[in-house]
């Protein structure tokens, strides 16, 4: 199973050090909670590791074997890395099922034009949509879904990638208890299957409940790491992040 | 207690996004109150705020503000003294933080008053002080949410409508925000209606709460009732 | 009757153009203002190949297709560095450049006066000189192109195009090199437009640069928007409507002194009216 390790990762925007020579690793078979104050660099880190934004310097090491110095956006998926977005980024004017099918089908131009495995893809799409309870809505446009359903579709899309490393960026934001239960069980299932799960969240109850390990960022740097209860009782963390 | 009614929604029916979003809904907001709107996703909480603010067409029923029925465009609603901070960190990404906040105060005539208000608002969100000249699009999600809230607060409105203000904010900031909301309510007598999922933090500052389900009011009560009764538990477990 | 056949031919040619641009604009979300350039390349390739080199029409069409594909890849490569509005402006610029080349390369293209005496297609001794036979030829081609478009948009490839339109960055994260997809559909659209150009050249028997300038690109775009973005049948309806409307207005008894201007006014108003009350076009799936 894949682990992901970063060494000296650096990214700046207009003079602001979003990620400042960061060293850390995310282990497989664990849910790692990634927390920290607003603007600490959590989403930027995820953007760097999922190819949304290129990093300035540093190294990303995947599964101890693959060393990456420069990453093109579309390449990260080939390293079995996937994610959800904080601001839900669905394909709005496409039906729910197409939002899933598009990440399942063949990637090359010629291959996708003459796609062969339609039945197989439909089965996989059904599987993930049923897991989040959206199969009945499969023909509705993503734009017409309710907020909770949209967040579930984001997650279903990530599941469909059948990746090894998952980054969930505030998946629980704005969700009500029933849906929180569904999402929590999905994360736990992934962990139990040995996947590497990274969870960014501000809901401390969920962090305590779900994470096996916690990493706290502040101003682009590592502030603390360790077991959730240890980390959340550290003075520096309370001051910077939790308040009290 | 003789409270004046600031805002009333009487028998409102609204169709939105293809569904009956509000079904014969009536609520009452008294001057100086902090009222919470709670309920499952899709219950109609945000729709109520949008209806008050004129963003959603009303099929039937009336919105009454300070005794007058209003049926206005959003910019006219702003001039009445109602401010709306929508869900999801809606800031002008190409404008700087300061410009975003200034826009919130566009109805303020005096520059001196505007400056004073901006200073007060920045005291609530001190982290924004060093980011004033940055383009809002460059800020993190949570910081953008702070800018959105600051923008809504700067106008010193009579009625402040907040849609999920805590979304994306770190726990420490959430505490501060709710604290400041309470402060604003006490100092400036701003009436506040809040839609929130962070029920614990919210109920600590609210006077009254409505629980919605499928466009109707499922429950209503004063804070004490809520803490005592089983309603809160049901909301957490998702029974309502 | 001859008049109706003439209309049908023109509608068929513009249907092909509408279909070709719809793939680029409606499905992939690339607002291209240079489709007339490829239309013109196809027309000129056919005209030059037939008049200066005595080639058969069908061979000339193939040359036109190859030329337009190559130019599309080149133009597309440069434009791929731009996003949104800058892409559109850039495409606009390219159309202007192509028109300028057509005007100034006098030795090859006949310059501003154009190329006359382009013959009708002929195959195995049969010449499509009658308008009816020509109509059948164009119609068959239009139908074939329609089915090619349907095939493309229903495939997984078509789904990727729509995802690029919706959120290019997001679909990249899921492992797609979107640049290649955009280039591919740009080239495919260009190739279809050049086929339309070949038929146009042969039908009119005379072409000049002015027929393939940005006004024409704008017209093709309005066919697509009007008929409905991201709907292949819509491209055809759009072509039919926008060709027939001014023709129908010929029959309305406007006072002769200002008839032409009045027709343009009515035409413009009709478009505005439709855009106000039906922004998704006649049968469109996607609102801009």
Residues A172 and A228 in one domain: yes
Q: Is A61 helix (H, G, I), strand (E, B) or coil?
A: strand
User: Would you state the structure tokens that stand for residue A131, as one six-digit string?
Assistant: 């897991």
Q: Is C65 helix (H, G, I), strand (E, B) or coil?
A: helix
Task: List chain A residues with pLDDT less than 70.
Answer: 1, 244
Placement of tokens 């004063």 in the chain: B222
For the cut 70, the answer to whether the pLDDT of residue B191 exceeds it is yes
Beta bridge partners, C123, equal C126
Residues of A in contact with C172 (CB under 8 A): 51-52, 73-74
Residues of A in contact with B176 (CB under 8 A): 243
User: Would you state the structure tokens that stand for residue B41, as one six-digit string?
Assistant: 């996703």
For residue A227, tell me if it sits in a domain: yes
Q: Say yes or no for a CB contact (<8 Å) between C171 and A102.
A: yes
Q: Say yes or no for a CB contact (<8 Å) between A74 and C285.
A: no
Structural contact between residues B170 and A37, judged by C-beta atoms closer than 8 angstroms: yes
Residues A4 and A30 in one domain: yes
Most confident of B94-108, B120-134, C33-47: C33-47
Neighbours of chain C (3+ CB pairs under 8 A): A
Distance CA B56, CA B75 (A): 13
Q: What does the pLDDT average to over C89-105?
A: 92
Residues A122 and A145 in one domain: yes
CB atoms within 10 A of CB A65: 7
Q: What is the pLDDT of residue C9?
A: 94
Q: What does the pLDDT average to over B140-150?
A: 85
For residue A53, tell me if it sits in a domain: yes
Q: Say yes or no for a CB contact (<8 Å) between C159 and A105.
A: yes
Q: Please check whether residue C288 touches A, CB under 8 A.
A: no
Distance CA C2, CA C121 (A): 19
Q: What is the pLDDT of residue B1?
A: 44
pLDDT band at C254; cut points 50, 70, 90: low
Q: What is the pLDDT of residue C269?
A: 81
Q: For chain B, what is the total number of helices (H) and then of strands (E)?
A: 9, 10
Distances in Å between the alpha carbon of A156 and those of A98, A126, A127, A184, B217? 12, 10, 9, 13, 32
Q: What is the pLDDT of residues C63-87, one digit of tens each?
A: 999 999 999 999 999 998 888 888 9
Residues A73 and A102 in one domain: no
Average pLDDT of chain B, as a whole number: 83
Q: Please check whether residue A44 touches B, CB under 8 A.
A: yes
Neighbours of chain A (3+ CB pairs under 8 A): B, C
Sign of CA dihedral B195, B200, B201, B207: positive
Residues A244 and A131 in one domain: no
* Structural domains in chain A (count): 2
Q: What is the pLDDT of residue C193?
A: 97
Residues A46 and A122 in one domain: no
Q: Please check whether residue A83 touches C, CB under 8 A.
A: yes
Distance CA B125, CA B167 (A): 15
Beta-strand pair A81-83/B82-85 = unpaired
Residues A61 and A168 in one domain: yes
CATH of the domain at A3: 3.40.50.300
Q: Please check whether residue C229 touches A, CB under 8 A.
A: no
Q: What is the pLDDT of residue A71?
A: 76
Write down the pTM of the prediction. Answer: 0.85
CA–CA min distance C82, chain A (Å): 17
Distance CA C207, CA C43 (A): 8
Nearest residue on chain C to A71, alpha-carbon basis: C173
Q: Whole domain around residue A243: which residue ranges?
A: 1-80+164-179+193-244
Residues A106 and A56 in one domain: no
Q: What is the pLDDT of residue A78?
A: 87
Q: Please check whether residue A176 touches B, CB under 8 A.
A: yes
For the cut 50, the answer to whether the pLDDT of residue B240 exceeds it is no
Mutate to test the interface with B, among A174, A178, A236, A244 (most CBs of B within 10 A): A174
Residues A154 and A169 in one domain: no
Residues of A in contact with B42 (CB under 8 A): 146-148
Nearest to C58 by CA among C119, C116, C147: C119
Distance CA C72, CA A216 (A): 50
Beta bridge partners, C198, equal none
Distance CA C23, CA C154 (A): 12
Q: What is the pLDDT of residue A177?
A: 84
Residues A69 and A106 in one domain: no
CB atoms within 10 A of CB A91: 26
Residues A59 and A173 in one domain: yes
Residues of A in contact with C167 (CB under 8 A): 89-92
CA–CA min distance B116, chain A (Å): 26
Q: Say yes or no for a CB contact (<8 Å) between A38 and B173.
A: yes
Q: What does the pLDDT average to over B84-107?
A: 87
Structural contact between residues B106 and B145, judged by C-beta atoms closer than 8 angstroms: no
DSSP C170-185: HHHHTT--HHHHHHHH
Q: Say yes or no for a CB contact (<8 Å) between B42 and A16.
A: no
CA–CA min distance C171, chain A (Å): 8
Residue spans of the domains in chain C: they are 2-213
Nearest residue on chain C to A87, alpha-carbon basis: C170
Nearest to C173 among A51, A93, A112 (CB): A51
Q: What is the pLDDT of residues B162-177, one digit of tens each?
A: 998 888 888 888 888 8
Residues of A in contact with C285 (CB under 8 A): 93
Is the pair B, C in contact (3+ CB pairs within 8 Å)?
A: no
């Amino acid at each position: 199973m894949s682990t992901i390790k970063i060494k000296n990762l650096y990214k700046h925007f207009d003079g602001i050090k979003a990620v400042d020579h960061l060293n850390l690793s995310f282990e497989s078979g664990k849910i790692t909670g990634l927390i920290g104050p607003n603007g600490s660099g959590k989403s930027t880190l995820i953007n760097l590791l999922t190819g949304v934004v290129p990093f300035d310097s540093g190294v990303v090491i995947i599964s101890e074997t693959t060393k990456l110095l420069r990453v093109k956006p579309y390449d990260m998926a080939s390293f079995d890395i996937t994610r959800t977005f904080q601001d839900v980024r669905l394909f709005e004017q496409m039906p729910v099922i197409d939002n899933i099918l598009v990440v399942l089908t063949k990637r090359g131009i010629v291959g996708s034009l003459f796609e062969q495995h339609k039945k197989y893809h439909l089965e996989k799409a059904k599987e993930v949509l049923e897991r989040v309870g959206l199969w009945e809505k499969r023909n509705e446009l993503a734009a017409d879904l309710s907020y909770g359903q949209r967040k579930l579709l984001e997650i279903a899309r990530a599941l469909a990638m059948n990746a090894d490393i998952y980054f969930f960026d505030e998946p629980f934001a704005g969700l009500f208890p029933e849906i929180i239960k569904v999402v929590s069980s999905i994360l736990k299932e992934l962990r139990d299957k040995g996947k590497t799960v990274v969870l960014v969240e501000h809901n401390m109850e969920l962090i305590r409940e779900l994470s096996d390990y916690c990493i706290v960022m502040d101003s682009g740097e590592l502030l603390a790491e360790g077991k959730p209860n240890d980390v959340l009782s550290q003075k520096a963390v309370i001051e910077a992040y939790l308040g009290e | 207690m003789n409270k004046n009614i600031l805002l009333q929604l009487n028998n409102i029916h609204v169709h939105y996004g293809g569904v009956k979003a509000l079904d014969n809904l009536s609520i009452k907001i008294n001057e100086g109150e902090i009222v919470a709107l709670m309920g499952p996703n899709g219950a109609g909480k945000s729709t109520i705020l949008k209806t008050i603010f004129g963003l959603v067409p009303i099929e039937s029923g009336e919105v009454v503000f300070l005794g007058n029925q209003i049926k206005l465009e959003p910019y006219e609603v702003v001039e009445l003294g109602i401010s709306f901070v929508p869900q999801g960190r809606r800031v002008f990404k190409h404008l700087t933080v300061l410009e975003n906040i200034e826009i919130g105060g566009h109805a303020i005539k005096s520059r001196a008053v505007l400056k004073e208000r901006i200073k007060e608002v920045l005291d609530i969100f001190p982290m924004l002080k060093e980011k004033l000249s940055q383009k809002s699009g460059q800020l993190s999600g949570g910081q953008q949410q702070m800018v959105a809230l600051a923008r809504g607060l700067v106008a010193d409105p009579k009625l402040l409508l907040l849609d999920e203000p805590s979304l994306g904010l770190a726990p420490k900031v959430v505490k501060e925000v709710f604290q400041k909301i309470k402060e604003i309510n006490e100092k400036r007598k701003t009436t506040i209606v809040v839609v929130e999922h962070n029920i614990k933090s919210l109920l600590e500052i609210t006077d009254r709460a409505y629980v919605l389900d499928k466009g109707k009011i499922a429950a209503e009560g004063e804070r004490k009732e809520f803490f005592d009764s089983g309603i809160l538990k049901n909301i957490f477990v998702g029974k309502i | 009757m001859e008049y109706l056949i003439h209309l049908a031919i023109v509608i068929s040619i513009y249907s092909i153009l509408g279909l070709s641009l719809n793939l680029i604009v409606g499905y992939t979300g690339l607002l291209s203002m240079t489709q007339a350039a490829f239309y013109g390349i196809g027309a000129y390739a056919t005209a030059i190949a037939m008049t200066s080199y005595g080639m058969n029409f069908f061979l000339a069409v193939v040359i036109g297709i190859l030329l337009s594909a190559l130019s599309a890849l080149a133009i597309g490569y440069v434009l791929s560095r731009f996003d949104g509005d800058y892409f559109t402006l850039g495409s606009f610029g390219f159309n202007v450049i192509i028109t300028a080349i057509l005007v100034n390369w006098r030795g090859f293209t006949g310059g501003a006066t154009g190329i006359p005496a382009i013959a009708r297609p002929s195959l195995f001794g049969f010449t499509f000189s009658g308008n009816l036979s020509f109509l059948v030829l164009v119609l068959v081609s239009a139908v074939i192109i329609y089915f090619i478009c349907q095939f493309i948009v229903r495939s997984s490839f078509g789904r990727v195009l729509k995802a690029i339109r919706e959120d290019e960055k997001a679909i990249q994260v899921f492992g797609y090199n979107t640049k290649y997809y955009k280039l591919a559909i740009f080239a495919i659209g260009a190739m279809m437009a050049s086929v339309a150009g070949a038929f146009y050249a042969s039908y009119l028997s005379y072409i000049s640069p002015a027929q393939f300038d940005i006004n024409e690109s704008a017209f093709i775009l309005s066919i697509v928007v009007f008929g409905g973005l991201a709907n292949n049948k819509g491209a055809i309806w759009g072509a039919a409507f926008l060709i027939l409307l001014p023709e129908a207005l010929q029959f309305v008894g406007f006072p002769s002194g200002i008839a032409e201007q009045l027709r343009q006014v009515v035409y413009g108003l009709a478009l505005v009216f439709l855009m106000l009350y039906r922004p998704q076009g006649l049968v469109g799936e996607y609102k801009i």
